[in-house]
Amino acid sequence: MLQTTLLQAARTAGNVMKESFNGKFRITNKEGFNNLVTEVDHASEKAIIDIIKGAFPEHYILSEESGELVMDSEYKWIIDPIDGTVNYANGIPICCVSIAVEKNDEVILGAVYNPFMEEFFVAEKGRGATLNDRKLRVTEKSDLATSCLVTGFPYSYLDEPNGPLEIFEKLIRLGIPVRRLGSAAIDLCWVAAGRFDGFYEHKLNAWDSAAGFLMVEEAGGKVTDFKGNEYSPYQPHIAATNGKIHVALLDFVNGKA
């Protein structure tokens, strides 16, 4: 029932995204610079929450736009109705809906759906990760120098010592390809799918990473904070790799390389 509801919510929200893509919709700015939200974000979120509440009215919900709908429950749904809103608002089809389910503070299910590429990623704790029902596996690459990486940039503190720009520059100067797609959930899923060997980012919220980090782990990869500790989506730093380049990537993000 949990997974059925999760998949229904993700699919429905993806359809909401498709219906308005490249159309006319209201765009506003939240606190901060280029922190966009569209009326489609709100419509997608409403569709997701309506489905969850219809099946599990007693469950806790944390969503990017509505915040916390607190309930006394062992289950929590973590929702990003559109991850990659700037892409969506500009007609760039690298965006998705991302939903995770926690039980007793552990992420047990995740779904990430990009309706424009028709890619539906699903992960279940202990049972693997799939893309359109095909089992996922991270890459076997063991040399950071020949890896393909992906990252994202916050709109603040870019120039701090050993910050996002400095790390990016060091990697690029070594000839290591680093991409920036604009959707952390897709970045993580593409690590799980073996399209990237690693991902790092300095500032994420729980709704950005809760589903995607489970994808990577269930595809055989490794996800930690920048200190190499067990990852929690409630802290900002993330390093997600195939496991084989993990220490080398952490050395870069920590200024040791």
| Catalytic positions, written as ranges | 64, 80, 82-83, 85, 208
Strands 134-135 and 149-151: unpaired
Which DSSP symbol is given to 31?
Answer: S
Beta strand pairing status for 75-83 and 60-63? Answer: parallel
CA distances from 47 to 63, 97, 240 (A): 12, 11, 30
Token code pair at residue 236: 């900002």
State the number of CA atoms in the 13 A half-sphere of 169 facing the CB: 9
Q: What are phi and psi of 5, to 5 degrees?
A: -65, -40
Give the C-alpha separation, 204 to 137, whole Å.
Answer: 24
Strands 149-151, 198-201: pairing is parallel
Residue of 73, 30, 83, 25 whose CA lies nearest to 52: 73
CB neighbour list of residue 60: distance below 8 Å, 6 or more residues apart: 68, 69, 70, 71, 72, 73, 75, 76, 77
Instruction: Tell me how far apart the alpha carbons of residues 182 and 88 are, in angstroms, rounded to a whole number.
Output: 10
